[in-house]
Chains A and B, each alone.
Chain A
Amino acid sequence: MELDDLKQHWKQTPVPNNINTDIMKLIQHKSYGPVAALKKEFRKQMIVMALLPLFLLITTVDDPTKALTSILFWSYVAFCIVVVAFAYRNYRIADKMQNMNSAVRSNLEQQIMLLEKRLQWKIVGLRLAMLFFILLVEVVPYFQHYRMLDKWHALNPAIRFGAYGALLLLQYFTNQALNKHKFGNHLSYLKELVNEM
């Protein structure tokens, strides 16, 4: 049987009775596609990062001035703000990915471009966060006294900077593995689709 012979059969396709045809009810549901999952993740990230400094303040409720005068606390607040801004930017990118009005090929190309852009932003963001943490650990003892940091600074600088280097290297590899695990397969799948076109 040839494909052309199938046309008549195809035309007679019946709509099954068990499919939910209550359109208005269907649009009340939540989307479960990969982009919707990404958006959900970013929304969660924004809420958690916005609330964390508050929780930190609550834990020091007996002496709030201790937290409010701590450089570490304010650095942490700054860090959270930057993460929220990153998550918001990523949320906007994911939002653009949900626009499926264009032809299939250009939609796929746009999804690939946006996903790669998002991955680049993530890598840059995580590296900056790590550098910020290192800078903080090195600089804070000059302004405020923390027993934990005193011990760290008592170590030979070669060991300290070696540890930072190892951390950055570890981050490089874990990021790659994590990105491949989370988005890599989907990205390869999208690229494969474009190659098939």
Chain B
Amino acid sequence: MQKQELEKQFETHIRDHQLLLYKVCRIYAYTEADRQDLFQEIVLQLWKAFPKFRGDAKFSTWLYRIAINTAITGLRKSRDFITSYEPAQLPMLASHDSAGSAEEEQVQQLYAAIGQLNQVEKALVMLYLEERSYEEMEDILGINQGNLRVKMNRIKEKLRQLTKPLHYGTR
């Protein structure tokens, strides 16, 4: 395939899945600058891997694999980036109009709690929110479905515990 044709195909695919990529960045990076850096790095890794994409898996599955792999294994510019943030202090969604309302506050609390999960749990939460089937999650993460279901229940419980003190105003 000609390079130009390959570039064109790649660009179309990325444009179609841009939101999906941004959501990965949103889960794994906490400032706009970091999100942009991560977005760029993921696109770069996708571009490198694109010629090897044979269509065995769904494009979105392949894309999730590379995006999550890049996000969790690539310690970025500042080496302590992954652990140095304070999730509770960094709202993950700053652009919504309803900021300040009780519901929005709960949403922000839940996002902050998600920010406190480990890297694997975050991937699981993101795929769950994206309503991916457990079968597809298995393809992406390489964890068997039974284990995924157990993990998902534990995560839900963990998030309940993390947001509980906030509801009662003790935190």
Minimum Cβ distance to chain B for residue A28 (Å): 9
A157 CB contacts on chain B under 8 angstroms? none
B18 to A196, Cβ gap below 8 A? no
Give Cα A108–Cα B74 distance, bound, in whole angstroms: 11
Nearest CB of chain B from residue A26's CB, rounded to whole Å: 5
B134 at interface by CB-CB < 8 Å: no
Chain B residues within an 8 Å CB radius of A14: 95
Per-position binary interface string of chain A over residues 7-49, scored 1 when its CB falls under 8 Å from any chain B CB and 0 otherwise: 1011001111011110110110101111100000000000000
Beta-carbon contact of A101 and B129 below 8 Å: no
Contact check: which of A27, A106, A190 meets B73 at CB < 8 Å? A190
Q: Please give the distance in Å from B127's CB to the nearest CB on chain A.
A: 11
B128 contacts A by Cβ under 8 Å: yes
Interface centre among A7, A19, A34, A35 (most CB of B within 10 A): A19
Chain B, Cβ-Cβ closest to A7? B129
> Are the C-beta atoms of A15 and B7 separated by less than 8 Å?
no
Given the known A-B contacts A1-B106, A196-B118, A196-B119, are A13 and B26 also in contact in the complex, defined by CB atoms under 8 Å? Answer: yes
Are A27 and B43 in touch, CB under 8 angstroms? yes
- A48 to nearest B CB, angstroms? 24
Instruction: Report which residue of B44, B140, B160 has the largest number of chain A beta carbons within 10 angstroms of its beta carbon.
Output: B44
The smallest C-beta distance from B2 to any residue of chain A, in angstroms, reads 15
Contact B19 A101 (CB under 8 A): no
Contacting pair A1 B107 (CB below 8 A): yes
User: How near does chain B come to A106, taking the closest CB pair, in angstroms?
Assistant: 5
A34 touches B163 (CB 8 A): no
A90 at interface, CB cutoff 8 A: no
Q: Mark B31-56, 1 if CB is under 8 A from A, else 0.
A: 01001110111011101110011000
Residues of A within 8 A of B68 (CB): 104
Query: Is the Cβ of B62 less than 8 Å from the Cβ of A101?
Result: yes
B171 to chain A, nearest CB (A): 15
CA distance A190 to B120 in the complex (A): 11
* Contacting pair A3 B129 (CB below 8 A): yes
Shortest CB–CB separation between residue B63 and chain A, in angstroms? 11
A189 at the interface (CB under 8 A from B): yes
A86–B32 alpha-carbon span in the complex (Å)? 40
The 8 closest A-B CB pairs, nearest first, are: A103-B142, A105-B142, A33-B74, A100-B69, A1-B106, A10-B129, A27-B47, A196-B120
Beyond known contacts A13-B93, A27-B10, A196-B120: 5 more, CB 8 A cutoff: A19-B35, A98-B48, A101-B52, A104-B141, A193-B119
Query: Chain A residues in contact with chain B, CB under 8 A?
Result: 1-3, 6-7, 9-10, 13-16, 18-21, 23-24, 26-27, 29, 31-35, 98-108, 111, 186, 189-190, 193, 196-197
